[in-house]
Amino acid sequence: MTFRAHILGAAAGGGLPQWNCGCENCNLARAGKIPSQTQSSLAITANGTSWAVLNASPDIRQQFADASPLHPSDLRSLPLEAVLVTNGDIDHVAGLLTLREMQPFTLYATTGIHEVLAQNPMFDALNASVVTRTSIALDTPFELVPGLTATLYAVPGKVPLYLEGDEVQTDLMGDQTVGVELRTADKVVHYIPGCALLNDALASRLQGADLLFFDGTLWQDDEMVRAGLSQKTGKRMGHMSMSGEDGSIAAFSGLEIGQKVYVHMNNTNPVLRPDSSEKARAEAAGWTIGQDGMEISL
């Protein structure tokens, strides 16, 4: 079996261009001078016929239309067998509402994430008679689709924005933000679209992986503040930036990982411009900048 990953969406919440943003990247994307990107999602398979989607972005209707491997093969026959969500963020669960047209699949998530979904009756549009909701305990392997074993594990993060209280812990460890380990008979892949920091436990887990998809939200921690778009830093949002002494480029420099791919990039991130020096620096450090439609096979 051959592991295949198809990036459905490489951008963070809002996509590129974001509908209400006039930053340099968004204006360039509107003008067709740099590629537009939809919101964070990844499709994976081990046999080419049974697919799982990791995170259901608000752009999932267009993403399915653009991804020929996910097209229907008959009137209502679809290669989609499972959807797995890694947190309760809007940009990772809103697409579930698009998948409400009586299409059978299994929805996997931790108990904590399922509880967040259950608190909103709108998600009952996913008819329980055709969509099976399955809770997965952390560090417990399960078959996601044929030939592909998944294990969910805690990564440093925070609760979704709409659940934040007066005080926010951005490096919370629990089942509200998880990474996904994916195993075939001979390959190991990790998917971590949101992560506040690389601690020792996570570094040890990732060592020796064949492929990693990792949080690339911002180039520098105060990027959105400098752009005049927000008062929040990357750390406050629960994301590890790419550059800097405590950024992911530096943190991963000592780890042996076959391929490293950035996903979940904010519309302000300069690596989204193909000719930027920041993109060149990331690539020189061994990273690939994810793009909508990019496929990687192992």
% the chain with pLDDT above 70? 94
Name residues whose C-beta falls within 8 Å of residue 185's C-beta, 6 or more positions apart in sequence. Answer: 1, 147
Output the CA torsion sign for 100, 102, 108, 114: positive
Residues 114-149: tens digit of each pLDDT: 999 999 999 999 999 999 999 999 999 999 999 999
- Distances in Å between the Cα of 189 and the Cα atoms of 29, 69, 128, 211, 282 are 31, 20, 31, 5, 20
Residues 158-191: tens digit of each pLDDT: 656 555 465 666 676 678 889 999 999 999 999 9
Residues 209-218: tens digit of each pLDDT: 999 999 999 9
Q: Which of 223, 245, 240 is nearest to 232 (CA)?
A: 223
Query: For residue 239, what pLDDT is reported?
Result: 84
Amino acid at the residue 227: A
Query: For residue 172, what pLDDT is reported?
Result: 65
What is the pTM for the complete model shown? 0.94
Q: Which of 64, 296, 290, 297 is nearest to 193 (CA)?
A: 290
Q: How far is Cα 66 from Cα 226, in angstroms, rounded to an integer?
A: 34
Query: 3-state DSSP call for residue 214?
Result: strand
Residues 9-53: tens digit of each pLDDT: 999 999 999 999 999 999 999 999 999 999 999 999 999 999 999
Query: For residue 101, what pLDDT is reported?
Result: 92
Beta strands 51-54 and 41-45, pairing class: antiparallel
Domains along the sequence of the chain with CATH? 4-290 (3.60.15.10)
Q: Which two tokens stand for residue 146?
A: 């044929």
- Distances in Å between the Cα of 234 and the Cα atoms of 245, 282, 294 are 14, 18, 26
Give the mean pLDDT of 150-162.
80
Other Cβ atoms within 10 Å of 87 Cβ, number: 25
Q: How far is Cα 98 from Cα 116, in angstroms, rounded to an integer?
A: 18
